[in-house]
Amino acid sequence: MKIDISGLSKFFENRIRLGIMSILIVNDSYDFNSLKSALGVTDGNLASHLRALEENSLIRVNKKFIGKKPNTSYSATEDGERLFRNHLKALEEIIRSR
């Protein structure tokens, strides 16, 4: 049986980026600190993965202030959502294929 793995995306080979996208698919938006505790990663690590996803337009950054505190939250773009869903479909097909 021929398996179609063209849906796999290199962006999601990394588990942290995979985790970030999984959260942003089921939540309209999620803030930096909550992402950090949900995924159990360090500031710097999370920031660099977020930057990579943002630079490729897979996620959108929303900066605002709550009182005097800056609050940065993230949402998935349409492109990001499509790419992630295709990736997930390809993963499921690969696993089902045997």
**Contact residues: other proteins, CB under 8 A:** 12, 15, 18-19, 22-23, 25-27, 30-31, 34, 37-39, 88, 91-92, 94-95, 98
Q: Which is nearer to other proteins, 12 or 49 (CB)?
A: 12
| CB neighbourhood size of 72 (10 A) | 14
In angstroms, what is the minimal distance from the CB of 76 to other proteins? Answer: 12
CB 46 within 8 A of CB 35: yes
In angstroms, what is the minimal distance from the CB of 44 to other proteins? Answer: 20
What is the residue whose two structure tokens read 């605002």? 64
| Amino acid at residue number 24 | L
